[in-house]
Amino acid sequence: MKLATWNVNSLAVRLPQVLDWLQANPTDVLALQETKLSDDKFPAAAIEAAGYRAVWFGQKTYNGVALLTRNQALQVQKNIPGLDDDQARVIAGTLGDVRVIGAYFPNGQAIDSDKFQYKLRWLDALREWLHSELAAHPRLVLMGDFNIAPDDRDVHDPIAWAGQVLCTPQEREHFRGLLALGLHDAFRLFEQPPKSWSWWDYRMLAFRKNQGLRIDHILVSEALRPQVSACTIDRAPRKNERPSDHAPVIATLEG
DNA sequence: ATGACTCCCAGTGGGAGA
């Protein structure tokens, strides 16, 4: 089973790249973030024509998530139950016996902003929900754009980024809290090249200079961990003419 | 360096992203 996550920064702009990528990288579940499309504008027909099913949850201009799947996703859940949230950030579905949660974590903007407080509240609610989801679905994957660089080795310039949003102790504590639920960072189950990033700023020639962050993640539950045989970041789409600022992260599960 | 780039909705600029 191949699982992948990709923040596409506008599905309207990136749809051809997503379809090309799926053609080259057959995937059982591709979680998308930042579709930036209201539900009536979601390109369901083009995705079906490419041989994929989809469930989606979006809004105009901002946010928006989807799961593109080979088989129909069941038990679809949109956003975190019990959290009063007007932003479309989560879509979950069940494929076979695997529960898949695709999420676009809040950015947080600045530590002294309301958006950072919202991020922390959202993270609290996510952890609460995951606790019960894991009890109901031991075989679970949480993947998406976490907007958290878990460790200094996930940051091209840890000194410049120290204490900045995406790297604060509070955010990293939340990431460790997810691991404490029994989730594992699939990327770190394997030897990886140093300076592995999933996002590069559009500015400052950041991709050409390989100055980025690893903020897109695939977390697998304890029950799935033994089956994970690989986890990689595919930099190729970042070299496209009009790329997303994020690259896809891919995990392979045996069996 | 309150920048840079890209996307969006707007409407000839500004918010948001990370």
Please tell me whether any atom of strand B lies within 7 Å of the Cβ of A160.
no
Rounded CA–C1' distance between A111 and B3, in angstroms = 21
Cross-strand partners of A145? A104, A216
What integer pLDDT is reported at residue A255 of this predicted model?
78
Per residue in A99-129, pLDDT tens? 999 999 999 999 999 999 999 999 999 999 9
Q: What is the DSSP string of A166-198?
A: TS-HHHHHHHHHHHHTTEEEGGGGS---SS--S
Which nucleotides of chain B are near protein (any atom < 7 Å from a CB)? 4-9, 16-18
Give the Cα separation of A63 and A65 in Å (integer). 7
Q: Nearest residue to nucleotide B9 when comparing alpha carbons to its C1'?
A: A61
Chain A 7-46 residues in 7 Å CB range of strand B: 7, 9-10, 12-13, 34, 36
Give the Cα separation of A2 and A19 in Å (integer). 16
- Nearest nt (C1') to A13 (CA)? B7
pTM of the model: 0.97
Rg (C-alpha) for chain A, rounded Å, is 17
**Strands across the sheet containing A53-57:** A53-57, A65-69, A29-33, A2-7, A249-253, A228-233
Q: At what angle do helices A169-180 and A114-136 cross, to 10 degrees?
A: 10
Chain A 47-106 residues in 7 Å CB range of strand B: 60-62, 106
What integer pLDDT is reported at residue A247 of this predicted model?
98
Assess contact for A97 and A107: CB atoms under 8 A: no
Per residue in A20-63, pLDDT tens? 999 999 999 999 999 999 999 999 999 999 999 999 999 999 99
Q: What is the mean pLDDT of residues A151-176?
A: 96
Give the Cα separation of A174 and A219 in Å (integer). 13
